[in-house]
């Protein structure tokens, strides 16, 4: 096969399987290697090593009797999908049709069988059309004795149909647990054999299945968690299989045992530190209490505090995840907390403590499972199976585990880890932290609590922070338990959560729902706004009509240019007809449902629910009148925000202007100082950074800086090498100008990252992009305002937004919730600042020219700015003469690059919105970026817009 064709297949497989960058890079490397070296049953290993070492110097040996290459990918990046991509590429390029996938334990074995099964949720070949037409033949350690794969290869009957015969061209994928390779499995009552079962002669083939595999001319072995196959028995079995190629996949490319060593066949390494930087896993954070001194507490007291603070974080994350799911429409993730115990007795005592009435009033009784290791510390397969159910078990909130976790536990809902009596080195192992790094939504969401894994480590906090200074540290984030007024604080009291309907729904009679799923009672006056609703929706049928109307209007919005068109006779008639039809269908289902089953469902949410009346049918005229009332409220409290897709008219290129580093005279580092004083050029702010001696030696001094600059996505070595070496040379020359070269190298070795960041700040300032035009396409004229979920402090009550906040509480405004609005599209709102956002809300409510306003919920706006990130303005305001997007911002942040990038994106969005408005006779859109210290109650919206409205001069 030509090289071009092989590369095309790489690109096709990568696109079809949506491979991540490290997966794609691994597949490209495999392609590159096999385009240079042929697969053979009798390979010249010395030639293989000679060719590989020139291009991949980390490959120093194969560790086995056949060519075997290790692809070391961090936990959570996707080793199984990469395995599927490699099998697909080897098959589609005609290099192999027979594969042997090896699992280290029963848990991973069962997982692999499912992942390679067509139709399964995580099917590894989903999207490869050739493997849909000719599905793989799966042979496992449970059914190989049936001879499925062998019969297809050697015993093809002439009467077989073409469809069955298609199996002869399909890939054969054998999936085995390593224990099956050497297992004797002597049947009860049969003569004992010292030969492994898979090596015994099988009647259907005339030889053992193992020999059959070893004789295949194109067998490729893929080893999942390959560090488990370096023991003598497993290694010899693999050598006996005599494959043409071995592909090893692991997150820890080291041998196990008392004296571990790095693999000698690592051809690609993507460590956890890079996965964190690239956003493929959760961000680990370490949590403690402010001014906490572990020496002041006994071991028992310390455990109690850590467990309680673990619960504080767990409950906080639980509300954040619920809020995210409600506001974005994503699936709800139910988190759990992992407690790592010292031994079995310790675990049992912890379970008793957590389930005791004195521990949070017994709230976790029955919600704790204890998973014990055996006496040797290796987990039984039954243990792993119990762990796997945690992701789907709504009743389990706490898992107590003994010792480190091993491979195969691929849960995504672990958010809190409480390691008890563990050293810092044990806490920081990938076996401890790595188990909780997988992202529940497949990618980071931008919501910190959803994207973060937290380790409660009061007693080891300093040690972990010390280690965090290392370049390869995976922990950089610090949280403080019990600190409510800090952005890095986690409250002790579980936050309250309410689901708030839009003002239109609220005024129709829909109620606020609290975080237990119950409607808040009418007599709780703190949950009333100034506009107390008059319940129009008094019966279950009326509420169903409202629900159906909102659903139908949401669908109609895709065809309408504004919400005001809902008043047009033909639109009203169409909406009414569709609601009437859906209501009839619903009423039929209600009459078919027994009253008893209905009561059972309701009892799950409300303890004492009065007997429900039957659902009376509504006449068409009643439905028509009610639909009319509902649509009027919708129009009154809807801001017509169009959905706009903005696309560049051509490819956007970028590069860097030629420049010289400035400010070098401010750097005077010497090896003995162990401190770096940096002065930020933009604000002269000074910062001191400490470091430890260490690091690998580079051939050129410039490389100590370039290796860190390459971490930035904007830098392409092939494209920008000249610039990098020029600037790095300037830094090196400066360091060498006042000290010997060996001292300069010591500084570069220890402070290379900080110096590279000093350089990067100036490189960014000299970045250019090719100007391009953009086109905007309106996909929807408006959208129905959906309910919003708000979290606020557990000891807070909704506050009247007009009542002044005491000075000492202003820094806690993000933990508060406000009510009392007349023009807001929601009866409740939260604000990020008092002097900026809350003050602006007061101005909006006072201004007679304001019709309505809102703070958009997540996903309401799709304004794309730098690198595809989404920008959502703080306020959307409808006035008599137009619409305004308003962004209150701290005065010292107005000119920052990110704020300016958002401004340009918002202006571009307004431009397309105005083009749409001009066609349909709508109001004009404007954008204002307002410094917080300019927002005063004496100002009007018109005055603020006149002073701070941004113009399209920024959009260039």
- Show the tokens assigned to 273: 């530190």
pLDDT class of 476 with cuts at 50, 70, 90: low
- Tell me how far the alpha carbon of residue 816 is from its chain's centroid: 27
Lowest mean pLDDT of 488-497, 544-553, 665-674, 860-869, name the range. Answer: 665-674
- How far apart (Å, rounded) are the C-alpha atoms in residues 455 and 313? 10
Per-residue pLDDT, averaged over 418-422, amounts to 78
Q: What SS3 string covers 869-885? A: CEECCCEEEEECCEEEE
Q: What sign does the CA torsion over 253, 241, 22, 39 have?
A: positive
pLDDT class of 462 with cuts at 50, 70, 90: low
Whether residue 854 has pLDDT greater than 80: yes
User: Which residue is it, tokens 């395995």?
Assistant: 83
Per-residue pLDDT, averaged over 878-891, amounts to 94
Q: What angle do CA 593, 595, 601 make, to 5 degrees?
A: 85
Mean pLDDT of the chain: 81
Closest CA to 41 of 211, 174, 219: 219
Per-residue pLDDT, averaged over 297-319, amounts to 89
Per-residue pLDDT, averaged over 938-951, amounts to 92
Closest CA to 765 of 854, 893, 895: 895
Per-residue pLDDT, averaged over 571-597, amounts to 78
pLDDT of residue 285: 84
Whether residue 815 has pLDDT greater than 70: yes
Strand pairing class (643-648; 774-780) = antiparallel
Whether residue 745 has pLDDT greater than 80: yes
Backbone angles phi, psi at 949, to 5 degrees: -65, 130
pLDDT class of 159 with cuts at 50, 70, 90: very low
pLDDT class of 20 with cuts at 50, 70, 90: very high
Map residue 509 onto helix, strand or coil. Answer: coil
Map residue 908 onto helix, strand or coil. Answer: helix
- Show the tokens assigned to 224: 């999942």
Tally DSSP H helices, then E strands, for the chain. 29, 35
Q: What sign does the CA torsion over 664, 666, 670, 672 have?
A: negative
Whether residue 832 has pLDDT greater than 60: yes
pLDDT of residue 478: 66
Task: Calculate the CA dihedral of residues 315, 316, 319, 321 and round it to 10 degrees.
Answer: -110
Other C-beta atoms lying within 10 Å of the C-beta of residue 370: 19
**Burial tier of 245 (Cβ tally within 10 Å: 0-12, 13-18, 19+):** buried
pLDDT in tens, 789-803: 999 988 889 999 999
pLDDT class of 374 with cuts at 50, 70, 90: low
Closest CA to 452 of 686, 598, 569, 283: 283
Q: What sign does the CA torsion over 470, 474, 480, 484 have?
A: positive
Per-residue pLDDT, averaged over 744-752, amounts to 86
Task: Give the domains, in start order, of the chain with CATH numbers.
Answer: 3-270 (3.40.50.300), 279-490 (3.40.50.300), 654-769 (no CATH)
pLDDT of residue 307: 92
Bridge partner residues of 686 (DSSP):
679
Top pLDDT among 742 and 512 is at 742
Map residue 773 onto helix, strand or coil. Answer: coil
Whether residue 763 has pLDDT greater than 90: yes
DSSP state of 429: S
Per-residue pLDDT, averaged over 397-410, amounts to 72
Closest CA to 783 of 575, 573, 550: 550
Lowest mean pLDDT of 490-504, 509-523, 595-609, name the range. Answer: 595-609
pLDDT of residue 588: 79
**Burial code of 636-665, b = ≥16 C-beta within 10 A, e = fewer?**
ebbbbbbbbebeeeeeeeeebeeeebeebe
Whether residue 749 has pLDDT greater than 90: no
Q: Crossing angle for the helix pair 620-636 and 540-556, nearest 10 degrees?
A: 60
Tell me which range, 148-157, 287-296, 315-324, is most confidently predicted by mean pLDDT: 315-324
Other C-beta atoms lying within 10 Å of the C-beta of residue 704: 26
- How far apart (Å, rounded) are the C-alpha atoms in residues 500 and 788? 5
pLDDT of residue 692: 46
Q: What angle do CA 895, 901, 902 make, to 5 degrees?
A: 100
Q: What SS3 string covers 446-480? A: CCCCCCEEEEECCCCHHHHHHHHCCCCCCCCEEEE
**Burial tier of 884 (Cβ tally within 10 Å: 0-12, 13-18, 19+):** buried
- How far apart (Å, rounded) are the C-alpha atoms in residues 29 and 59? 13
pLDDT of residue 612: 44
pLDDT class of 388 with cuts at 50, 70, 90: low
Other C-beta atoms lying within 10 Å of the C-beta of residue 558: 12
For 352, how many CA atoms within 13 A lie in the half-sphere containing its CB?
6
pLDDT of residue 678: 46
Tell me which range, 20-34, 485-499, 596-610, 676-690, is most confidently predicted by mean pLDDT: 20-34
Closest CA to 925 of 636, 641, 637: 641
Strand pairing class (477-481; 489-490) = parallel
Collect all residues with Cβ–Cβ distance below 8 Å to 330 and sequence separation of at least 6. Answer: 324, 441
Whether residue 532 has pLDDT greater than 60: no
- The answer to whether 338 and 404 have CB atoms below 8 angstroms apart is no
Collect all residues with Cβ–Cβ distance below 8 Å to 405 and sequence separation of at least 6. Answer: 379, 387, 431, 432, 435
Per-residue pLDDT, averaged over 162-175, amounts to 67
Whether residue 838 has pLDDT greater than 70: yes
Backbone angles phi, psi at 863, to 5 degrees: -110, 105
Strand pairing class (245-250; 219-224) = parallel
For 346, how many CA atoms within 13 A lie in the half-sphere containing its CB?
17
Whether residue 162 has pLDDT greater than 50: no
Strand pairing class (496-500; 513-514) = antiparallel
- 329 — alpha (psi -120 to 50), left (phi > 0) or beta? left
Closest CA to 875 of 923, 832, 904: 832
DSSP symbols for 608-623: S-PPPPP-----HHHH
pLDDT of residue 204: 64
Per-residue pLDDT, averaged over 826-855, amounts to 94
pLDDT of residue 687: 47
pLDDT class of 910 with cuts at 50, 70, 90: very high
Map residue 714 onto helix, strand or coil. Answer: coil
Top pLDDT among 393 and 907 is at 907
Backbone angles phi, psi at 882, to 5 degrees: 165, -175
Other C-beta atoms lying within 10 Å of the C-beta of residue 449: 20
Closest CA to 823 of 800, 804, 848: 848
Other C-beta atoms lying within 10 Å of the C-beta of residue 380: 14
């Amino acid at each position: 096969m030509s090289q071009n064709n092989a590369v095309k297949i790489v690109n096709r497989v990568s696109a079809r399987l949506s491979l991540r960058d490290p997966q794609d890079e691994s597949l490209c490397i495999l392609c590159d290697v096999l385009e240079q070296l042929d697969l053979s049953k009798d390979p010249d290993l010395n030639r293989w090593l000679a060719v590989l070492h020139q291009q991949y110097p980390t490959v120093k040996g194969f560790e086995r009797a056949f060519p075997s290459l290790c692809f070391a990918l961090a936990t959570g990046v996707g080793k199984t999908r990469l395995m599927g991509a490699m099998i697909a590429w080897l098959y589609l390029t005609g290099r192999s049709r027979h594969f042997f996938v090896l699992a280290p334990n029963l848990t991973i074995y069962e997982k692999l069988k499912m992942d390679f099964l067509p139709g399964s949720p995580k099917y590894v070949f989903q999207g490869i059309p050739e493997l849909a037409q000719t599905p793989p033949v799966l042979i496992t350690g449970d059914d190989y004795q049936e001879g499925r794969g062998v019969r297809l290869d050697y015993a093809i009957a002439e009467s077989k149909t073409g469809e069955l015969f298609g199996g002869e061209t399909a890939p054969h994928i054998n999936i085995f647990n390593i224990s099956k390779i050497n297992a004797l499995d002597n049947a009860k009552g049969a003569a004992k054999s010292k030969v492994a079962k898979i090596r015994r002669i099988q009647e259907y083939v005339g030889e053992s299945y193992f020999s059959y595999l070893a004789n295949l001319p194109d067998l490729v072995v893929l080893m999942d968690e390959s560090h488990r196959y370096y023991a003598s028995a497993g290694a010899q079995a693999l050598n006996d299989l005599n494959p043409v190629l071995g592909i090893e996949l692991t997150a820890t490319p080291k041998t196990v045992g008392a004296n571990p060593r790095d693999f000698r066949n690592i051809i690609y390494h993507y460590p956890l530190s890079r996965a964190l930087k690239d956003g493929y896993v959760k961000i680990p954070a370490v949590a403690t209490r402010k001014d906490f001194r572990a020496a002041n507490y006994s071991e028992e007291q310390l455990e109690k505090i850590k467990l309680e603070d673990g619960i504080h974080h767990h409950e906080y994350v639980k509300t954040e995840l619920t809020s995210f799911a409600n506001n974005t429409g994503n699936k709800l993730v139910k988190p759990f907390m992992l407690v790592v115990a010292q031994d079995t007795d310790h675990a049992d005592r912890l379970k008793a403590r957590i389930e005791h009435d004195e521990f949070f009033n017994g709230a976790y009784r029955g919600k704790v499972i204890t998973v014990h290791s055996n006496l040797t510390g290796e987990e039984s397969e039954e243990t792993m199976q119990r762990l796997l159910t945690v992701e789907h078990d709504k009743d389990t909130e706490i898992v107590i585990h003994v010792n480190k976790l091993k491979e195969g536990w691929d849960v995504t809902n672990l958010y809190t880890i409480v390691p008890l009596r563990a050293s810092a080195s044990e806490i920081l192992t990938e076996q401890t932290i790595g188990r909780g790094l997988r992202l529940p939504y497949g990618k980071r969401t931008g919501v910190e609590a959803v994207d973060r894994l937290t380790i409660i480590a009061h007693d080891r906090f300093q040690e972990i922070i010390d280690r965090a200074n290392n370049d390869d540290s995976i922990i950089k984030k610090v949280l403080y338990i019990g600190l409510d007024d800090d952005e890095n604080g986690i409250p002790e009291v579980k936050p309250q959560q309410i689901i708030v309907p839009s003002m239109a729904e609220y005024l129709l009679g829909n109620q606020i729902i609290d975080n237990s799923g119950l409607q808040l009672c009418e007599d709780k006056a703190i949950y009333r706004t100034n506009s107390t609703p008059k319940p129009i929706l008094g019966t279950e049928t009326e509420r169903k009509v409202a629900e159906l109307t909102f659903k139908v209007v949401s669908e109609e919005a895709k065809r309408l240019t504004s919400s005001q068109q809902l008043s047009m006779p033909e639109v009203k008639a169409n909406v009414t007809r569709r609601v009437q039809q859906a209501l009839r269908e619903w009423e039929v289902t209600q009459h078919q449902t027994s009253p008893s089953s209905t009561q059972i469902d309701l009892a799950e949410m409300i303890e004492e629910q009065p007997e429900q009346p039957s659902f009376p049918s509504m006449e068409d005229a009643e439905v028509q009148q009610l639909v009319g009332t509902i649509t009027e409220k919708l129009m009154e409290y809807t801001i017509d925000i169009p959905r706009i897709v903005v696309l560049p008219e051509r490819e956007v290129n970028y590069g860097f202007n030629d420049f010289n580093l400035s400010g070098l005279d401010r750097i005077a580092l010497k090896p003995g100082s162990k401190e770096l004083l940096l002065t930020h050029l933009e604000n002269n702010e000074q910062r001191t950074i400490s470091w430890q001696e260490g690091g690998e030696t580079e051939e050129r001094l410039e490389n100590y800086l370039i290796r860190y600059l390459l971490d930035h996505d904007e830098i392409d070595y092939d494209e920008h090498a000249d610039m990098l070496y020029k600037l790095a040379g300037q830094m090196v020359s400066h360091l060498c100008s006042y000290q010997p070269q060996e001292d300069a190298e010591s500084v570069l070795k220890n402070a290379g990252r900080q110096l590279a960041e000093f350089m990067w700040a100036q490189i960014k300032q000299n970045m250019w992009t090719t100007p391009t035009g953009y086109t905007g396409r309106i996909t929807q004229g408006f959208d129905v305002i959906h309910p919003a979920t708000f979290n606020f402090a557990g000891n807070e009550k909704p506050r009247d937004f007009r009542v002044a906040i005491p000075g000492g509480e202003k820094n806690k405004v993000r933990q508060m919730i406000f009510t009392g609005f007349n023009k807001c599209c929601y009866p409740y709102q939260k604000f990020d600042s008092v002097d900026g956002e809350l003050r602006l809300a007061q101005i909006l409510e006072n201004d007679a020219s304001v019709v309505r306003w809102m703070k958009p919920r997540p996903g309401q706006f799709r304004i794309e700015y730098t690198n595809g990130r989404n920008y959502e303005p703080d306020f959307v305001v409808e006035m008599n003469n137009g619409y305004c997007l308003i962004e209150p911002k701290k005065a010292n942040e107005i000119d920052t690059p990110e704020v300016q990038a958002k401004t340009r994106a918002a202006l571009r969005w307004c431009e397309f919105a105005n083009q749409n408005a001009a066609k349909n006779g709508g109001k004009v859109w404007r954008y204002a970026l307002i410094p917080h210290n300019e927002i005063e109650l004496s100002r009007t919206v018109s005055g603020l817009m006149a002073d701070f409205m941004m113009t399209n001069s920024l959009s260039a």
